[in-house]
Amino acid sequence: MAAYLALTGGVGGAKLALGLAQLLGPDELAFLVNTGDDFEHLGLHVSPDVDTLTYSLADLSNPETGWGRRGESWNFIETLKQLGGESWFNLGDRDLALHVMRTQGLRAGRTLTEITREISRKVGIAHLILPMSDDAVRTMVQTVHGSLSFQHYFVRERCEPSVTGFEFVGAVAARANPALATWLARADFAGVILCPSNPYVSIDPMLAIPGIAQQLRSLRVPIVAISPIVAGLAIKGPTAKMMRELNVPQTAVTVASHYRDLLDGFIVDVTDEPLLAQIVGSDLATIAAPTVMITLADKIELARITLEFIRRLKPH
């Protein structure tokens, strides 16, 4: 057997995660998930990237948004709005139940990892979902209007303020999820996949935790990433807009150089094949593949290509 770890953040990452989970069993694949987007809201602990992955793997996700649940009702948030409560962040009725469970668990002294395991099992997921840390790490988006917590930037301000940088508050002191070391220490551990998530706000918060960065860098197996930028655009979310505001080219080349020395392999979309020549780094293997995932078959196909690619790479 060969085992892999996939790092994932929001909706784009969860698509490939689902494809990988169709090809690899729970003994062969675990997920490390960004929790920099987490926040306390209405007295509840919200963990959007963990939930996006959970709902995707359980086939419960809302296909229109990519986050939240399919067939959701909104009585709670509509009533809250009517009463003049804080209603900018849409928590559906069914989603609310999960949030109450999680928050109760945390208040009772259990870890986010334990609660995530319990909830994921209840919805039929056998794969291990590891929040990046059980300690609080909070992504702050620095903008021309000041520093905003991630969900305030992303949902309340609709990603409108121009971005100048990012801060991952608590990352330096945070411990990596303890189960990560166990997974990586497996004798059959064979590779790491950085899903096509936003590099700045989905993957970087994980790499900002020293324990995670060190463990990944000391691995003797290949690490590959899939570009979330296709033909200068982000499939979903603000990655391309952030690049423009940070004054870097909105291309897959920028993503490759962002991850620089971490990677052994990089996958761009077929439309970006001409860019491959610009991706420098003698040790970096590159391929072009169809990375736009709309159907389940697209997700499985990109997962298959990614695994085939990683299996023939030499570790760094």
Q: How far is the CB of 203 from ligand FO1 (least distance, A)?
A: 11
Choice between 147 and 271, CB closer to ligand FO1: 147
Least separation, in Å, of the C-beta of 283 and ligand FO1? 30
CB of 9 to ligand FO1, least distance (A): 5
Q: How far is the CB of 305 from ligand FO1 (least distance, A)?
A: 24
Least gap, CB of 68 to ligand FO1 (angstroms) = 5
Return residues touching ligand FO1 (CB under 6 A).
9-11, 37, 48-49, 51-52, 67-68, 89-91, 95, 151, 154-155
**Do 265 and 313 form a contact (C-beta atoms < 8 A)?**
yes
Checking phi first, is residue 109 left (phi over 0); if not, alpha (psi -120 to 50) or beta?
Answer: left
Taking CA atoms, 181 is separated from 141, 189, 255, in Å, by: 29, 11, 26
Which residue, judged by CB position, is nearest to ligand FO1 in the bound state? 10
- Quote the tokens at residue 244: 């423009």
Residue closer to ligand FO1 (CB basis): 10 or 228? 10
Which residue, 184 or 206, is less far from ligand FO1 as judged by CB?
206
CB-wise, 67 or 259, nearer to ligand FO1? 67
- Rounded to a whole number of angstroms, the minimum distance from the CB of residue 11 to ligand FO1 is 6
CB 37 within 8 A of CB 51: no
Q: Which is nearer to ligand FO1, 151 or 286 (CB)?
A: 151
Q: How far is the CB of 27 from ligand FO1 (least distance, A)?
A: 28
31: tokens are 């997920």
CA angle 291, 293, 294 (to 5 degrees): 150
- Least distance between ligand FO1 and beta carbon 34 (Å): 7
CA dist 174 and 135 (Å) reads: 6
How far, in Å, are 28, 105, 152, 238, 252 from residue 126 at the CA level? 11, 20, 33, 31, 33
d(CA 4, CA 21): 11
82 Cβ contact partners less than 8 Å away, ≥ 6 residues apart: none
Give the three-class secondary structure for 268: strand
From residue 257, how far is each of 232, 251, 252, 267, 274 by CA, in Å? 15, 10, 9, 13, 16
Ramachandran angles phi, psi of 111, nearest 5°: -90, 160
DSSP structure class, residue 237: S
Closer residue to ligand FO1, CB minimum distance, 52 or 133: 52
Residue whose CB is less far from ligand FO1, 48 or 265? 48
In the complex with ligand FO1, the residue whose CB is nearer, 155 or 276, is 155
